[in-house]
Amino acid sequence: MNSVQYILGIESTAHTFGCGIASSEGRILSNIKSEYVPTSGGIHPREASQHHASKAAATISGALEEAGLRLSDIAAVAFSAGPGLGPCLRTGATVARTLSLVRKCPLVPVNHCIAHIEIGRLATGEDDPLVVYVSGGNTIISAYAGGKYRVFGETLDIALGNCLDTFARHLGLSHPGVPKLEQLADEGRRFIPLPYVVKGQDVSYSGLLTMASRLAGECDRSDLSLSLLEVAYGMVAEVAERAIAHTEKSALLLTGGVARSKRLQRALSFVCSDHSARFHVVPPDLAGDNGGMIAWTGYLALKEGLTVPVESSYVNPNWRLDEVEVPWRR
Amino acid sequence: MAEMRLFKKGAEAELYLTDWMGLRAILKRRIKKGYRNPDLDSYVRGTRTSNEAKLLSEARRLGVPTPVVYSVDKRNCEILMSYIDAQPLKRFVGGMDPEGLALTFSRVGEMVGRLHKGGIVHGDLTTSNIIPYSGLLYLIDFGLGEHTSDVESRGVDIHLMRRALESSHHEVSSAAYLSFIDGYTRVMGSLSEPVLKRVDAIRRRGRYVDVSHRKGE
């Protein structure tokens, strides 16, 4: 009974198809991903799902090989069931169902946002942090209370990463745009006023994106990048500060793809030192979407018996973080 | 200057207990934030200070109890206002019986309805910003408020209240929210319908909605 279990996790909510393997001891044995990069513009859901379908087999065998395991060693298959883009989610779910049927092992649906939180908790060892989860698709301030992750703040329109990526494309920067935006910002000198929109504990980025894009032809690119990042990150830092004051948590965890931003890390560590809270960032290789976080969260859910029969293993593109029971935190 | 005692250190501001012409008063000072660019920081603190001072007075004219503003110092981002000697609503919600809860939140709803009908949104509705005192409910912290009658801004206001209930009072959030909506609708009448529809739409947003895909919504 005490032998080690291996869980295979499939991630496919947006541009990344990932497969990772986690052990019941909390080790990520492998974490392979393949990213869909649009030839122009933003993510196209159907093209992304076609990319995922074409890369699935190689990604999964790569993850098994790197972990030194065979499919028969896998105790359960976990998959991202939402939130995300419908066509992408369905591709990942189809792959996961197939593996579960072939292997005759349990199938575990995982909420993508919760996986970003759980992998951060695992990697940093911080048990009960206030979570700042920022990525291309989500901007959420959350903390655990009474059986669920509660949402204390979120975006009212587009996500932080979406705002930054879209603006980077507008400047003609190639993918990935955010690091290049940050480099430009380091050379910026003059601050250009841009819409700073905080409502309660929520933020709004659409006005900021529109205004910055409009000014792109008239202003210095470095100044504009500096101003956009300062405003965008300042808003997150402010709502994080409000949430940490309100929840009185003693630690903050920064997770999600945008967690790699040094400038954002700096802003949030400022907030933490003002409130005597510990500051943690998810390691860079676990920041973006990945299968390892799905595998690990799948293990936590499997322990609680949260499996689903293949015939009712639906995806939910609008699955809110705060709808999910997390009995492993009780 | 009268003697000042630090009374509360919030996320955004420090509150000092002091007096003004022999009356007990609160000095609210918005403090500098090291995580923001200095130019951005003084802009944010300055506009919120003048905004709050204006809206506190205007809200009272609409029949929403608020502290009385004695003076504003825009340069130092300070507001001097009357002191309400009571705890915020947040502290009482847990101990309320169902009738008390329903009555209180329907009154909160009516209050927000009066505000919205008068062309103001609060921008930060939480149970920490409502103070029950001498039979009235006082509304404070108008720094994020606006003059607007937009369905979107009103919807965001209600959404914030709903989420504050869910995150801080999850045991009673549904009952409290229903009573809140009751009171709000009583005051707003048919104007509440598009707002409540928008509240549901706002809730579904923010996740993988690319700007280009949203235009058709």
Residues 6 or more apart whose CB falls under 8 angstroms from that of B190 comprise none
Same structural domain, B101 and B142 = yes
B56 domain-assigned: yes
Tally of domains within chain B: 2
- Chain A CB contacts of B11 below 8 Å: 238, 241-242, 244-246
For chain A, the distance separating the N- and C-terminal CA atoms, rounded to the nearest angstrom, is: 23
pLDDT at position A40 is: 82
How far is the C-alpha of A207 from the C-alpha of A54, rounded, in Å? 37
Residue B130 in this model has a pLDDT that exceeds 60: yes
Contacts of B170 in chain A (CB under 8 A): 145-146, 148, 150
DSSP string, B139-153: E---TT-EE---HHH
Which residue on chain B is closest to A112 by alpha carbon?
Answer: B207
The b-or-e profile of B119-138 (16+ CB within 10 A means b, else e) is ebbbbbbbbbbbbbeeeebb
Q: How far apart are CA A112 and CA A125, in angstroms?
A: 20
The token pair at B185 is 């609708």
Flag whether B211 is in a domain: no
Residue B131 sits at the vertex; the CA angle it makes with B3 and B102, to the nearest 5 degrees, is 170
| Strand locations in chain A (E) | 6-11, 16-23, 28-35, 74-82, 107-111, 130-134, 139-145, 148-154, 198-199, 202-203, 251-255, 278-281
Q: Which domain holds residue B153?
A: 90-203
Contact B156 A317 (CB under 8 A): no
Among A174-178, B74-78, B83-87, B154-158, the least confident range: A174-178
Q: What angle do CA A107, A108, A110 make, to 5 degrees?
A: 150
Tokens of B119: 């062309």
User: In the structure, what pLDDT confidence band is assigned to residue A2 with cuts at 50, 70 and 90?
Assistant: low
Average pLDDT over residues A147-164: 93
For A6-116+287-329, which CATH superfamily applies? Answer: ATPase, nucleotide binding domain (3.30.420.40)
User: Is there a single domain that holds both residue B60 and residue B124?
Assistant: no
Residue for token digits 């507008």?
Answer: A170
Examine the domain organization and report whether B141 and B188 are in the same domain.
Answer: yes
The interface predicted TM-score (ipTM) is: 0.82
Q: pLDDT at residue B108 above 90?
A: yes
pLDDT surpassing 50 at residue A316: yes
User: Is A316 in contact with A80 (CB distance < 8 Å)?
Assistant: no
Mean pLDDT, rounded, for B83-90: 95
| pLDDT exceeds 70 at position B19 | yes
Q: d(Cα B182, Cα B111) in Å, to the nearest integer?
A: 12
Domain assignment present for residue B214? The answer is: no
Tracing tokens 């910055």 back to the chain, one arrives at: A212
Q: How far apart are CA A316 and CA A111, in angstroms?
A: 9
Q: Euclidean distance between the first and final Cα of chain B, in Å?
A: 56
Nearest CA in chain B to A143: B167
pLDDT at residue A55 in the model: 97
pLDDT reported for residue A66: 98
Q: Which of these, B158, B22, B136, lies nearest to B84 by C-alpha position?
A: B136
Q: Which letter does DSSP use for residue A155 in this model?
A: B
Q: Does domain A127-284 have CATH number 3.40.50.10260?
A: no
Which amino acid does the sequence have at A104?
K
One domain for residues B131 and B178: yes
Q: Which residues pair with A21 in a beta bridge?
A: A8, A30
Closest CA to B35 of A242, A225, A153: A242
Are A202 and B156 an interchain contact pair (Cβ–Cβ within 8 Å)?
yes
pLDDT confidence of residue B1? 56
Q: What is the dihedral of CA B102, B108, B113, B114, to 10 degrees?
A: 130
- Residues B116 and B68 placed together within one structural domain of the fold: no
Nearest chain A CA: its distance from B180 CA (Å): 18
Instruction: Classify the C-alpha dihedral A36-A165-A80-A125 as positive or negative.
Output: positive
3-state helix, strand, coil in chain B (%, to 5): 50, 20, 30
- Do B42 and B62 have their domain in common? yes
Q: Please check the confidence at residue B212 and state whether its pLDDT lies above 80.
A: no
- The reply to whether B153 falls in a domain is yes
Give the H/E segment covering residue A281: strand A278-281
What tokens were used for A237? 């830092």
Model confidence pLDDT, tens digit, residues A37-76: 988 888 899 999 999 999 999 999 999 999 999 999 999 9
CB A19 within 8 A of CB A10: yes
Boundary (domain end) residue, out of B82, B109, B131: B82
> What pLDDT, in 10s, does the model give residues A218-255?
999 999 999 999 999 999 999 999 999 888 899 999 99
pLDDT for position B167: 85
Q: What is the CATH number of the domain that holds B129?
A: 1.10.510.10
What mean pLDDT comes out for the span A187-206? 94
Say yes or no: B16 and B74 in one domain: yes
Q: State how far the Cα of B141 lies from the Cα of B122, in Å rounded to an integer.
A: 8
Q: Is the pLDDT of residue B206 over 90?
A: no
Q: With b meaning 16 or more CB within 10 Å and e meaning fewer, what string describes A160-191?
A: bbbbbbbbbbebebeebbbebbbebbeebeeb
Confidence of residue B209 (pLDDT cuts 50, 70, 90): very low
Asked if residue B94 and residue B128 are part of one domain, the reply reads: yes
Residues in chain B: 217
- Rounded to an integer, the average pLDDT of B140-159 is 96
Residue with tokens 């206001």, as numbered in its chain: B157
- Asked if A6-116+287-329 and A127-284 have one fold, the answer is yes
Q: How far is CA A52 from CA A13, A64, A115, A151, in A?
A: 10, 17, 20, 30
Q: Is the pLDDT of residue A133 over 80?
A: yes
| B91–chain A nearest CA distance, Å | 13
Domain-ending residue, one of B82, B115, B144: B82
Check whether residue B100 and residue B196 sit in a common domain. yes
Does residue B212 form part of some domain?
Answer: no
Length of chain A as a residue count: 330
* B124 is annotated as an active-site residue: yes
Question: What are the beta bridge partners of residue B143?
Answer: none
Suggest the residue from A90, A156, A160 to mutate for an interface test with chain B (most B CBs closer than 10 A). A156
| Residue linked to tokens 């705890």 | B87
Residue at which a domain ends, from B82, B99, B134: B82
pLDDT in tens, A257-305: 999 999 999 999 999 999 999 999 999 999 999 999 999 999 999 999 9
Which of B39, B41, B124, B182 is an active site residue? B124
Statement to judge: residues B112 and B190 lie in one domain:
yes
Ordered by start, the domain boundaries in chain A are 6-116+287-329, 127-284
